[in-house]
Structure 1
Amino acid sequence: MPDPIDILLEGCRRGNPAAQRALYERLSYQLMGVCLRYCPSRAEAEDALQLTFVKVFTRLDQFRGQGPFEAWARRIAVTTSLNLWHQHQQRGPHTEYEEAADLHHPDGTPFDQLSAEDVVRLMSQLPPGYRTVLNLYAIEGYSHAEIGELLGISENTSKSQLSRARRLLEERLLLQAHTPHYND
């Protein structure tokens, strides 16, 4: 029995709108998460998601089935988001993020009670270069050589950026842990 994704892909290759919609609904949540990790704003992440699907639909003939389709689509989302990030950087200075001290944490031991949302929020406050390398290495599983190629930096710069990202994230976690927050 054929895999349901293969049936959807065949429908998409034929230009079937119902198959395209079903594929979008199946992957959009996951791919939006990827785009949000690399884009500086939700609006740009939404743009990246739409461009990702345009590329997926127009390049289906390039998918050779050498691995899961979802991984292929995810790589397109990463590349598309990185391209938008580069364009954003070229437009001028990026928007500064709030400091970690402005974040609220629940009572108790903050490290034990950090939610995924808290971690994502703290990561989003890292400088864009650090955040991008951290995401590519720790979440997407790229090697430093691959990151260097994707971002146009050396392998050693990638390693350095990852080290600095981890150190800064640790400092912000400690800052959050030691900053008292009072109920208004």
Structure 2
Amino acid sequence: MTQPFVIIQSILKQTKVLELVQLIEKCKKSDRKSQQALYNMYKDRLFALCLKYCKNRAEAEDNLQDSFIKIFQSIKTYNGKGSFEGWMKRITINRAIDRYKKEPFIEPITDQHLKEDTTVDIDEAPISLQQMLALIQELPSRYRLVFNLYELDNHTHVEISEILGISVGTSKSNLHRAKLILKEKITATRTTTQKNSIVNG
């Protein structure tokens, strides 16, 4: 990439950052137009996050609205340190967690049970990302939360235990059960896909 293009890209990036800072400051003053602009700017990305943590589209939509209400209520506390989008994502995830946190979590299982095979052969008929998301959404809420926090957001079991208010052992057992259920669902989905392919030629 030539030097002029690098300079242009740098200027555009700085301009976008400045525009976002100005937008945030206006939102801190409860400016409705700025709030709408911020909502339009981030709604799709945050909705994708809601879909990951909620069990269906309707709950994801509710969680998105709850999250933006919380974002606008708390935006004065954002001090500019760290990613603004990351700050909003944490609020969105926390709203989803609060939605299911009161549900009972399964008690820890034995180490012997944790040795059950939960691996999936990736060389078999693949499933789409959309199918995988749908299967994760079908998990019981307590399993889905732990699975997403551990596998998709890279939290440790210690961190998950603090976030959800459960023991490390309970976090491990919920993750293990989530993987067992997903393995069964993936196998069933692949079987159905293969049968449909044979029928349709």
TM-score of Structure 1 vs Structure 2, range by shorter chain: 0.7 to 0.9
Identity across the alignment (%): 36
Unaligned runs of 5+ in 2: 1-13, 105-123
Residue 128 in structure 1 maps to residue 137 in structure 2: no
Q: Which amino acid aligns with 1:24?
A: Y
Give the equivalent residue in structure 2 for 1:78: 93
What's the TM-score, normalizing by structure 2? 0.72
In 2, Cα distance between equivalents of 1:136 and 1:151: 10
1:66–1:155: structure 2 CA closer, same or farther, 3 Å change rule?
farther
Instruction: Output one character per residue of 1:98-117: Cα deviation in whole Å (capped at 9) or x when no partner.
Output: xxxxxxxxxxx631xx2111
Unpaired stretches in structure 1, ≥5 consecutive residues: 91-108
Pick aligned residue for 1:63 from 59, 64, 78: 78
Aligned to 2:187, which of 160, 174, 177? 174
Conserved? CA contact 2:27–2:35, under 8 Å: yes
Q: Which of 124, 130, 145 is 1:117 aligned to?
A: 130
Bigger shift: residues 75-84 or 60-69? 60-69
Aligned length: 162
Q: How many Å separate the matches in 2 of 1:85 and 1:39?
A: 9
Give the Cα–Cα distance (whole angstroms) in 1 for the partners of residues 159 and 59 of structure 2.
Answer: 24
Q: Any conservation in 2 of the 1:35–1:49 contact (CA below 8 Å)?
A: yes
Task: Give the drift of 1:145.
Answer: 1.8
Larger radius of gyration: 2
Contact kept, 8 Å, 1:35 with 1:78, in 2: the verdict is yes
Q: Which runs of 4+ in 1 moved over 4 A?
A: none
Q: Does 1:40 align with 2:55?
A: yes
Output the aligned Cα RMSD.
Answer: 2.0
CA deviation string 1:15-45 (max 9, x = no partner) = 2212111110111111112222222332222
Measured in 1, the distance between the counterparts of 2:66 and 2:191 equals 42
How far, CA to CA, are the matches of 2:60 and 2:159 in structure 1?
Answer: 22
- Cα offset for 1:65? 2.4
Give the C-alpha shift of residue 59 in structure 1: 0.7
> Equivalent residues in 2 for 1:3-18 (5 A)?
3=17, 4-18=19-33
Separation in structure 2 between the aligned mates of residue 40 and residue 173 of structure 1, nearest angstrom: 17
